Each structure stands twice: as C-alpha cells, then as structure tokens.
Amino acid sequence: DELRTLFSKVRHGRHKEVQGIIEGGVSPSVRDEFGNTLLIMAAQNGHKRIAKMCLRAGGDINAQNFRGQTALHYCCAYHYDELGDYLKSKGARDDLANEYGLACYDGV
C-alpha cells in the first residue's frame, strides 16, 4: 500500500524519494495507522532533512499522534537534540501533553 511505503521511506531517510512524493501532491499531514504524520515519523528517526521538507510543505509542527506524542516528544526521548532545537526554533510547543500527561521533556 502506498501510504505504508511512504512512511517506510521516511523512516529509512530516503529524502529524495520522499521529496518527489510530497512534490507530487501528497500532504505532509497524512497519517499512518498510529496517527503519526510524516514529520512525527521523521522526528522518531532523527531525519532533520525530511523534517525540514515536511515543514516547508506545510506540515503541522505541533501535530499529535493518537497517543498525544509530537515530533518534539520523540526528539527529546531519543536525544535528537539538534532536530529538537530546530523544531523549537520554528515554533514547536514544548508544553503539549501526551496521553499520560507528559510534556516532551518528561517522556513518551
């Protein structure tokens, strides 16, 4: 299925392929079965280049998946500090709570 393939490309950092798909009209706000957007998936895997691409294409920097996690939650949890700092510089909120009531600095 095309959606699963797209998220796999994001997960594996295949930025040129992801760029072509986004430029072809796929929204960066599309979600997988867990509610993750392309930006959240990029953040889970530390792919700053793809994260920037998603933001340039209009992705929601503060989108939350079905468990309330944001891209910033994953950056903090997995110590992708450079990406987390970049997201904060672009307006990512660090006060959004997940389903457990935890902000990004407190865990996922």
Segment 55-102, tens digit of pLDDT: 999 999 999 999 999 999 999 999 999 999 999 999 999 999 999 999
> Could you list the residue range(s) of the whole structural domain that residue 49 is in?
2-92
The structural domain count of the chain equals 1
- Whether 104 maps to a domain, the answer reads no
Q: Mean per-residue pLDDT for 9-27? A: 96
Residue 15: inside a domain: yes
pTM of the model: 0.96
Q: Is residue 108 part of a domain?
A: no
Averaged confidence pLDDT in the chain: 97
Residue 1, pLDDT above cutoff 90: no
15 pLDDT above the threshold of 90: yes
> 99 lies in a domain?
no
Instruction: Return left, alpha or beta for 65; rule: phi > 0 is left, psi -120 to 50 is alpha, else beta.
Output: beta
* Residue 58 lies inside a defined structural domain of this protein: yes
Beta strands in 3-84 (DSSP E): none
Specify the CATH number for the domain of residue 29.
1.25.40.20
For the chain, what percent of residues have pLDDT higher than 90?
96
Using N-to-C axis directions, what is the helix angle for 81-89 and 48-56, rounded to 10°?
A: 20
| Number of Cβ within a 10 Å radius of residue 31 | 17
Distance CA 30, CA 14 (A): 17
Q: Is the pLDDT of residue 107 over 90?
A: no
